Every structure is written in structure tokens, then in C-alpha cells.
Structure 1
Amino acid sequence: MSDPLPKVILRLIRQIIFWPLEALLVFILFGTARILPVAIASVCMGLVMSLLGPLTPWHKRARRNLVYAMPHLSYAKQSQILRGMWMNLGRVIGEYPHINKLVDKGYVEFIGQEHIRDVETGGFLISAHMSNWELGPFAARSVGKKVAAIYRPLNNPFLAGLLARRQRTFGGEMFPKGREAALGMISAIRKKQFMCLLIDQKLREGMAVPFFGHPANTPIGHIKVAIKKKVPIFYVQMVRISGCHFRLTISPVIDLPDHDDDDSVLEAATAINKTIEDWITQHPEQWFWPHRRWTKDI
């Protein structure tokens, strides 16, 4: 059954008008950040987003999520966290064109590289949308490992080139969310690559796992593959220390159950979500709160 005419018209308007305008804005910001020194690009884009972010619809959703997860916080504390979040997001945008330079110039302190340096089987690096999450793959790249990743295809085709740029940075393959992602995990492990995953987004096909005391559809494919293929999973915690200086900590191997039945996987996923919770509790202004992490009703 075809879509009703008003919906078709709105889609065409979005594709013909809003997508090009959105792409133009992104390329202006990207180009500006690229010609600036990384520290200046980081702070400038941070200031821009700290002004623009609260004016967007995503700000209300971010506050609702924050209240849902941390109801004990005062309104003033919520506002402080959200201001910091928009500043952090802007910094991520400003740092994106310089992502390799951040590592090459010593802006990133690596801790725990010895945990993956001698791993020859490949495995999973799991993290969250915290600090500058684009640095996650360098946990493996810094010790000479290739990294595969899963991504959500952008709605705007004019911005597809930015994803291609990420792929060149990773040195491994990239797979879109969905069925290809599941097959991609297997492919990456067979090639003894590390699959880098951000596991803090709602996944329609995921398992309902507690997150800040509320059920949240959570990715579990990496847990099942790791158990079946007997490959390790490591946490990668990224913290913005100050400005565009970061600490990236690679954990020892995560304990996994011997079997991939639902109860065992739920137990493992619950422990993983609790670790992500702890990271967010420590640095709530560094997590991306506008995500639809729970139900649409929030």
C-alpha cells in the first residue's frame, strides 16, 4: 500500500530542501573545524553546540531521559549536566576532522593496551557514546590491530562520505545495522579483527536488559558470538580529562558464561549495562542523553 499524498510530499520536501541544507551546514562546520587547530576547533564547536543544542527538540528528550535515569537530581543539576553534554557534543564535532591527530600528537593517554596486544583471535571492544566516542577504535589500532565496526546508515545520502572517511580511519570493514551487522561480526572474527561496538543505543531486535533500573532493548549479538567463537570482549572507557585531552582505558577480558542460553546472556548483558551505568554516573555530562534509550513514551 502506497503512502498517503501528504506523507509523500513531506518526504520529498525533506529530500529536496532539508537534506541539502543539512549537508551544507555539516560541511561548513566540518570544513571550519578542519582548518582550525584541533584545540581551537574543539572549543569553538563546543561553544556553538552549547548555544544551539538547548534550542532543539532533542534537549527536551535529553532532560526527560536524565530525569528517568537519575530522578534524584535537582533541576539546576540537570541543566548543568545538559549544558556540559552539548558542549561535549560540539567538541566531538570539532575534533572529528582531527581524530588521527589527537592520537598522533599525544592528546590520548592509553591504559591497558597490554590486555589486547597479544590477542590473535580478534574480539570485541565495547563502549558507549561518551567523551569522544570516535576514539574507541584506536584502542586496537594503537597496538597494530585492524578494527571493524557497525554503523547506522545516515538518512541523508549527501553525508555518506563522512562514513567512508571513518572506514579509512579504522582500517577494517564497516557493516550497517541489521542483518548485515550480525554477519559482519562473524566475518570480522574470522579475519581476526576487533569489532568495535557502541552498545548504549536502543536496538529493536535486542533483549530487554535493566539500565538505570528500567528495561532497555540492548544489543546481545556480540555476547552470543563471543561465547560461540570463544573470543574475548573488552571494555573501552573513554573519559575527557580536560579540553581535548582524553584517557582511554582498556579493561581485562570480561568474564562470560559458558553457554549462550537466554538466562546466561541476560546475566552477562546486565553486568555490562551496569558498567556503562557506572561510567555515566561518574561523568554524566559526557554521555549523549538525547538517544531514545528506553521506550518512545519517555
Structure 2
Amino acid sequence: MTPRERLTDIGHYLSNGVLRVLGAVLRILPYSRRLRVGSWIGRNLMMRLPTARQRVQANLNLIFPDMSDADRNRLFQGVGDNFGRVMVEEMMMADVIADPSRFRATGAGLEALISAQTEGRGAILVSAHYGNWEGARASALGHGLQIAGVYRTHNNPYYNADFVAALRTLGPDAFSKGRQGTRELVRHLRSGGVAEILVDQKQTGAPLIEFLGQPAETTLTAAKLALSMDIPLIPVISFRADDGESFDSVFAEPVPHTDQETMMRAVNDQLSTWIAQKPEQWFWFHRRWR
């Protein structure tokens, strides 16, 4: 390890250490108060970081160019509130799912998912960084279903280890994006497993498909896998309820099997419709559009 690499490693270790200390302190508090602390951090600290604020501002200018300043400020506060709550929930996922009543699930897609599992077939859920996207996986547990997570490996290896451990609180299977992870995901699906893939981030070089009314480079992987294995492709979203602590996961009807781009266009349309209902719950921090 070079001196530069060693310094980077130390920085990663210390930054993750700060998060672990914060998590330990928060666990002293009652559950509801932990989330309120997270909300305060999100609204008053995270949303004041210049990079985060500029990214959110640029995305809102693109999607909502005519939004009033008052509505924009309310949306900023809502984005910060949800972001801070998710940050806390990811630190203590075991506590989040300890109360099954926090997670509700509805929709024709849920019945299709249960039917596929009864038949021994796999399925792919497609969702977005919205509300808390682990809500869909948590709500499925109440129906006796385990859904694998698919994630992008974080640069900080110490944080990544904690992040993957949190994912596995909801089920033993979690697959990283990349060649090896994709092979493992394919085996999982072919053996009758279910996985959730978040498809709302830019994939450079992918086809341009409208998302929230603007062309966005959209991965076709989920549709490709569904077609190649003849398994359902089910859009799902997990709305954070007004209490700030519980979630309503909505499973839409499976997307008809046609071609990859047509299927992902249907997915983007459905996700866009859901996001428009409560836009403050989407992660506007992404570089989603060119």
C-alpha cells in the first residue's frame, strides 16, 4: 500500500467510524426520536452542503422549471427530511424491521409475485431510490417472501461492509453490480429467487428513455433478465407514510414482455407517476440526466 493509499484508507476508516459512533449514540434514544434526529440532520446540515444543494437545484430546475420559490423550499426541506431518516434507518435496519406493522403492501403485482413463487419461478422487482426502497423487501417478509438486494459497491470498504450487512438483515442474498455479482444474480433468479433492482440512476451509454419527462440514460438489465428467463418484471415503490416511520409499498402489475426498451419505458413511466405524487421522497441528488 502506497503512502497515498494508506492515507485514503485511514480517511475511509475514520469517516465510517464517525457514522458508527453516531449510530451508537442514536441507539440510546427511542426509535421515533432517532428518526427525528436524522430528519434534523438531513434538513439543516445535509441540504446545506453546497454540492448537494446545487445538484438538487439543477435537477429541480430541469423537471420543475416553473415551481415557485415557496414550493421549491418546501421540497428542499422534504428531501432533507427523507434523506436524514433513510440515513438513520440504514444504520439500524434490524430495529427498523423489528416491528412488522411498519410495512404494508398492496397491488396486483404482489399477487403476481406470490403466484410466481408458488410456481417455483423467480421474479425481478424494479424500483427507485425513493422513500426507503428497502420497504418493499421488508413488506415482502410479512408474506413469507425474501427478496435479494442489488447494490453498487461503495468506494469506502468499511462503510460498504456495514451497508451490505444492513442489506442482509432483510435476507441473506445481496449482489453487487459487476460481472461476478451479475453471475450470482442470474443463478439466484434461475433457482426461483427474487431480486429488487433500482433503475433510477444514470448508466452511461444506455438508451435514452424518458424519466420524469426528460430523456435519461436507462439500464436495460432488468428487462433483459426478465425476458431471457421468462419471469415477471414488477415495478414497486415504497412510500414513506405521514407518520415518517412506516411505509406503504405498492406493487404494480407486471410489465408485459415485449422488447427491452419498451419494457423499461413502461417502468420509467410508472416510477415517474409515483415520484410525482410525493416528489420530496425521491433522491434528487443523482446525476440522472445529461
Asked if these proteins are the same fold (TM beyond 0.5), I'd say: yes
CA contact (8 A) 2:129 2:198 kept: yes
* 1:290 alignment partner, one of 267, 282, 285: 285
Distance 1:32 1:103 in 2: 20
TM superposition shift of 1:101? 4.2
Q: Residue 274 of structure 1 aligns with which residue?
A: 269
CA contact (8 A) 2:93 2:166 kept: no
Distance 1:77 1:13 in 2: 43
CA contact (8 A) 2:91 2:166 kept: no
Structure 1 stretch 160-169 or stretch 75-84: which is displaced more? 160-169
CA contact (8 A) 1:33 1:97 kept: no
TM superposition shift of 1:281? 1.0
Q: Residue 114 of structure 1 aligns with which residue?
A: 111
TM superposition shift of 1:118? 2.7
Cα distance change of structure 1 residues 108 and 141 upon mapping to structure 2, 3 Å threshold: closer
Amino acid at match of 1:274: D
TM superposition shift of 1:278? 1.1
Q: Secondary structure at the match of 1:166?
A: helix
CA contact (8 A) 2:126 2:234 kept: yes
TM superposition shift of 1:130? 0.8
Cα distance change of structure 1 residues 50 and 183 upon mapping to structure 2, 3 Å threshold: same
TM superposition shift of 1:63? 0.9
Distance 1:161 1:29 in 2: 17
| TM-score, L = length of structure 2 | 0.88
Distance 2:7 2:222 in 1: 39
Distance 1:100 1:256 in 2: 36
TM superposition shift of 1:291? 0.7
Amino acid at match of 1:25: V
Cα distance change of structure 1 residues 286 and 193 upon mapping to structure 2, 3 Å threshold: same
Distance 1:294 1:277 in 2: 14
Q: Residue 89 of structure 1 aligns with which residue?
A: 83
Give deviations 1:230-277, integer Å, cap 9, x for gaps.
1001122211112212211122222221xxxxxx32222112111111
Q: Are 1:36 and 2:29 counterparts?
A: yes
Amino acid at match of 1:159: Y
Q: Residue 52 of structure 1 aligns with which residue?
A: 45
Amino acid at match of 1:178: G
Q: Secondary structure at the match of 2:129?
A: coil
Distance 1:203 1:150 in 2: 15
Distance 2:145 2:59 in 1: 36
Distance 1:39 1:148 in 2: 27
Cα distance change of structure 1 residues 33 and 117 upon mapping to structure 2, 3 Å threshold: farther
CA contact (8 A) 1:110 1:248 kept: yes
CA contact (8 A) 1:116 1:140 kept: no
Gaps of 5+ in 2: none
Amino acid at match of 2:283: F
Q: Residue 249 of structure 1 aligns with which residue?
A: 250
TM superposition shift of 1:212? 2.6
Structure 1 stretch 273-282 or stretch 95-104: which is displaced more? 95-104
Structure 1 stretch 95-104 or stretch 158-167: which is displaced more? 95-104
Distance 2:160 2:91 in 1: 15
Q: Residue 152 of structure 2 aligns with which residue?
A: 152
Provide the aligned length of Structure 1 versus Structure 2: 281
Distance 1:144 1:293 in 2: 34
Cα distance change of structure 1 residues 135 and 270 upon mapping to structure 2, 3 Å threshold: same
Distance 1:11 1:62 in 2: 32
TM superposition shift of 1:99? 3.3
Amino acid at match of 2:87: I
Q: Secondary structure at the match of 1:79?
A: helix
Give deviations 1:111-168, integer Å, cap 9, x for gaps.
1343322322011111111111222222433322232222111111221331331343
| TM-score, L = length of structure 1 | 0.86
TM superposition shift of 1:20? 3.0
Gaps of 5+ in 1: 1-7, 258-263
TM superposition shift of 1:100? 4.3
Q: Secondary structure at the match of 2:86?
A: helix
Distance 1:208 1:139 in 2: 32
Distance 1:65 1:13 in 2: 34
Cα distance change of structure 1 residues 53 and 124 upon mapping to structure 2, 3 Å threshold: same
Percentage of identical aligned residues: 27
Cα distance change of structure 1 residues 147 and 245 upon mapping to structure 2, 3 Å threshold: closer
* 2:93 alignment partner, one of 91, 99, 106: 99
